[in-house]
Structure 1
Amino acid sequence: MSLAGLPQHQGGADDLARLLARALLAGHWQPGEAFPRELDVCAHFDVSRNKVRNALASLTATGLIERTAGRGTRVREIGEWHLLDPLISDWMTGIDSLDPKLVRAIFAFRYSAEPVVARLAAEAANADDIQRLETAFQGMTRTAMNPEERGLHAEYDVAFHDAIYQGSHNLVWRQMGHLLRPSIIALIHSSQAHVHHEHEGLDDSLARHNEVLETIRRRDPSAAEHAAREVLKRTAIDLGIVDDPPASSGAVPAANAHTDLEEFS
């Protein structure tokens, strides 16, 4: 795909790297595809070749592209992207629509990790952690049905999940929660773009988040792990990873969820 459709560039090499990286993360170019030549990038954005080389060096260092003498530049496979690199975290901040393959990759990690983190939080969370969870959930509930507060609702949702990571009181998981925050934000925005127009789905999501809060509050590690997984099953529906449940049930059919989410276990 060409450079057509990308926004105008203003600033230095770092800003150009951010613009190109965000296009990659959004799926403007697919893994394995040829990436535009240096001269084409120079011409399109009216910038110096030195600035383009510095920007592409950042994309190369974070694993997004591969530059080979005589073969040009290609987009690397998503599995080779350094998704926890602080630069990629910065570039991912504010993206409303990620490449579907990247959405699935981020979801797969969350589906494996967050139930474990919720179990740890049920064992280690203190009164301040519980208060942060309660405040975030109250904010989610208050903004749930107002389309004009969709952005604020997403912020409270992110704060809720961040509080779970912080409540684990595990140094590594707390740091992972910080690094993952931009990707969690992007995933929440993607899922809420669908669910915010369906009150039944939103009610179901809130009920599942409330169960996580209650199981952590009563210090029930096994129940907290299960509740966190149920939240992510709802997320899978909202992202289109699994099919919607029957309208009357308001829950993920166990067999369907097991089949469609098996690869993430």
Structure 2
Amino acid sequence: MADYLAEAIFGGRYRPGDFVPKEVDLAEQFALNRSAVRSDLRQLVDVGIIERISGHGSKVREVEAWNILDPSVTDWMTRYAAPNPEIQREILSFRLDVEPYVAMTAARRATARDLVAIEEAFEGMESAMNAAEGDAKRLHSDHDIAFHVAIFKATRNIVWSQLSHILRPSIYLLIETSNESASDPEDSLERHRELMEAIRTRRPQDAFRAAQAVLAGTADALGIKPGDSVLGSDLELPPTG
């Protein structure tokens, strides 16, 4: 039942401010007793997605209140949020604010092993894109996420590295959806190549801009505007020294 409600909420059928069905109706629909229904609703309450209002029922909270880094929430997000442009926009805006800096730091700190990991992930993307249909698109997305995770790890910072694992499901959501709808896969691959080369050749500012370009392509493929972010701004980059 918790999965049913999560799918309905992340998919946008129940929006912030909406009340989900009452306990008695959920109990009847899923042939559960009231205590089991309360237990499932508690899962959504504990991660900030819904709130219980005495005498009224359970209401969906504003997205800002959701604990999107909780493993249960990131799992639901990956499985159910693809049709929801609001959630996609929030994730993309965060990535636009973070990943150019991550790429810039990787260009300064990446070890030889890091560069190999980035290159192997890129080569996997390239091979999958040129492969026959079937699992090719899934493999392309798998290598794409590995490419971005490798860049996080190349910062040589334990917090960024760990954050890449926490963010992995939400990043995968955008990557899988944008790869499905991309009209220019060759151009997208070239943008990833330019990012890889900027990191490999120790060009932090170019890596920053290349990461922006990769994410701009993601935004275009998704058909959404990312909102407030560094994309397209006149941001003054830090010096290369």
Could you say whether these structures have the same fold, taking a TM-score greater than 0.5 normalized by the shorter chain as the test? yes
1:113-132 matches, within 5 Å, as: 113-132=98-117
Q: Do the aligned partners of residues 165 and 203 (structure 1) sit closer, same or farther apart at CA in structure 2, a change above 3 Å counting?
A: same
Deviation of 1:170 after TM superposition, in Å, equals 1.4
Aligned to 2:211: 228
Q: Deviations over 1:92-135 (max 9, x none)?
A: 34447241110000001001000011111111111111111111
Amino acid at match of 1:203: E
Aligned to 1:107: 92
Identity rate, percent: 41
Give the TM-score normalised by the residue count of structure 1.
Answer: 0.81
Amino acid at match of 2:196: L
Aligned counterpart in structure 2 of residue 263 of structure 1, from 210, 218, 228? 228
Q: Secondary structure at the match of 2:228?
A: helix
Aligned to 1:246: none
| Aligned partners of 1:96 and 1:190 also within 8 Å | no
**Quick one: distance in 1 between partners of 2:133 and 2:179?**
11
Q: Deviations over 1:41-62 (max 9, x none)?
A: 1111112221111111110111
Deviation of 1:87 after TM superposition, in Å, equals 2.1
Stretches (4+) displaced over 4 A:
none
Q: Which has the higher contact order (CA 8 A, sep 6+)?
A: 2
For the pair 1:166 / 2:149, whether they are aligned, the reply is no
Amino acid at match of 1:207: E
| Aligned partners of 1:96 and 1:189 also within 8 Å | no
**Quick one: distance in 2 between partners of 1:262 and 1:57?**
32
Amino acid at match of 2:186: D
| Aligned partners of 2:85 and 2:224 also within 8 Å | no
Amino acid at match of 1:72: G
Aligned to 1:248: none
Q: Do the aligned partners of residues 262 and 40 (structure 1) sit closer, same or farther apart at CA in structure 2, a change above 3 Å counting?
A: closer
Give the TM-score normalised by the residue count of structure 2.
Answer: 0.89
Amino acid at match of 1:34: F
Q: Give unmatched runs, 5+ long, in structure 1.
A: 1-15, 243-260
Q: Do the aligned partners of residues 262 and 55 (structure 1) sit closer, same or farther apart at CA in structure 2, a change above 3 Å counting?
A: closer
Amino acid at match of 1:97: A
Q: Secondary structure at the match of 1:263?
A: coil
Q: Deviations over 1:168-196 (max 9, x none)?
A: 1112211211111000111111112211x
Q: Give unmatched runs, 5+ long, in structure 2.
A: 231-241
**Quick one: distance in 1 between partners of 2:198 and 2:162?**
23
| Aligned partners of 2:89 and 2:227 also within 8 Å | no
Q: Do the aligned partners of residues 142 and 95 (structure 1) sit closer, same or farther apart at CA in structure 2, a change above 3 Å counting?
A: farther
Aligned to 1:255: none
Aligned to 1:237: 220
**Quick one: distance in 2 between partners of 1:223 and 1:42?**
56
Aligned to 2:233: none
Q: Do the aligned partners of residues 45 and 137 (structure 1) sit closer, same or farther apart at CA in structure 2, a change above 3 Å counting?
A: same
**Quick one: distance in 2 between partners of 1:92 and 1:102?**
9
80-89 or 156-165, which deviates more: 80-89
Q: How many residues align?
A: 228
For the pair 1:140 / 2:121, whether they are aligned, the reply is no
Aligned counterpart in structure 1 of residue 143 of structure 2, from 147, 153, 156? 156
